[in-house]
């Protein structure tokens, strides 16, 4: 009954942490990816919320190949192929949109749609998604709520990535659950640190997060 997980998501599961980043200045892309990596965070969701997002994604793929970078906030069908062409390892969205899931499936592009209810999970299952973004994790009730909606589907081997409202204070609680593949959020790349080019500051946030989930950082 359990489908094998896409290798990209296996890798995300090994990294256990994903930084959610919004890049407004494309010159920030490479130093940001390097800073996160130096702190031990090896995966990021680069949100397609700015004009420079795709170019930033491309630059990271070229300059920082050790960083696994996926495209987030995929809201339109054409963004599926655009993200793939820019080198995104996977796609994510805040919600579960049939047209986007069909496009991702057709393209063989690993995609984690956002789910918040059992109905969302079942829609994602129609498109063979096995890794789901749980969004907005804290707003919906955190791990307690996720566990209660995950139970009926456990035999299918679904794994979740809680995002939305996660921070240093609640991060570790998520990693105790076998339902969780990885966890993360935007606190790892705060705008004030990006704006001031405080890469050391971002590296320490990454290192602290890695330590909080029981890793060692680098």
From candidates 163, 171, 193, 206, binder to ligand 3PG by CB under 6 A: 163
Q: Residue 147 or 170: which CB sits closer to ligand 3PG?
A: 170
Task: Give the footprint of ligand 3PG on residues 119-138 (CB under 6 A).
Answer: 135
Task: Give the footprint of ligand 3PG on residues 83-112 (CB under 6 A).
Answer: none
Tokens found for residue 138: 């804290």
Is residue 164 at the binding interface for ligand 3PG, with CB under 6 A as the rule? yes
Closest CA to 183 of 164, 203, 202, 169: 164
The reply to whether 58 belongs to the active site is no
Instruction: Say if residue 151 is exposed, middle or buried (CB neighbours under 10 Å; 0-12, 13-18, 19+).
Output: exposed
Is residue 149 at the binding interface for ligand 3PG, with CB under 6 A as the rule? no
Tokens found for residue 20: 């959610």
Q: Residue 67 or 71: which CB sits closer to ligand 3PG?
A: 71
Residue for token pair 């070229």: 62
Is residue 47 at the binding interface for ligand 3PG, with CB under 6 A as the rule? yes
> Cβ 74 to ligand 3PG, closest distance in Å?
11
Alpha carbons 113 and 132: distance in angstroms, whole number: 5
The reply to whether 191 belongs to the active site is no
From candidates 185, 189, 205, 210, binder to ligand 3PG by CB under 6 A: 185
Tokens found for residue 189: 């790349």
Q: Given the rule CB under 6 A, which of 24-32, 55-63, 160-168, 201-209 is the region that contacts ligand 3PG? A: 160-168
Is residue 20 at the binding interface for ligand 3PG, with CB under 6 A as the rule? yes
> Cβ 163 to ligand 3PG, closest distance in Å?
4
Answer whether 36's CB lies under 8 Å from 137's CB: no
Residue for token pair 């204070």: 169
Supply the DSSP symbol for 201: H
- Classify residue 190 as left (phi > 0), alpha (psi -120 to 50) or beta: beta
In three-state secondary structure terms, 185 is: strand
Residues that bind ligand 3PG (CB under 6 A): 20, 47, 72-73, 135, 163-166, 185-186
Supply the residues annotated as catalytic.
Answer: 45, 133
């Amino acid at each position: 009954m359990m489908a094998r997980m896409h290798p990209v998501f296996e890798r995300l599961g090994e990294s256990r942490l994903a930084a959610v980043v919004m890049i407004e200045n494309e010159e920030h892309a490479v130093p940001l990816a390097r800073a996160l990596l130096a702190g031990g965070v090896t995966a990021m969701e680069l949100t397609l919320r700015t004009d420079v997002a795709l170019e930033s994604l491309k630059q990271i793929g070229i300059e920082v190949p050790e960083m696994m970078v996926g495209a987030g906030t995929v809201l339109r069908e054409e963004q599926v192929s655009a993200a793939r062409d820019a080198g995104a390892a996977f796609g994510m969205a805040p919600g579960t949109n049939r047209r986007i899931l069909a496009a991702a499936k057709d393209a063989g592009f690993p995609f984690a749609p956002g789910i918040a209810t059992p109905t969302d999970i079942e829609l994602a299952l129609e498109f063979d998604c096995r890794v789901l973004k749980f969004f907005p994790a804290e707003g919906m009730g955190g791990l307690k709520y996720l566990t209660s909606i995950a139970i009926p589907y456990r035999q299918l081997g679904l794994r979740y990535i809680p995002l939305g409202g996660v921070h240093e204070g609640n991060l570790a609680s998520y990693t105790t659950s076998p339902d969780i593949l990885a966890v993360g959020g935007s606190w790892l790349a705060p705008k004030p640190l990006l704006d001031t080019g405080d890469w050391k500051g971002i590296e320490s946030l990454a290192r602290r997060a890695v330590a909080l989930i029981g890793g060692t950082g680098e």
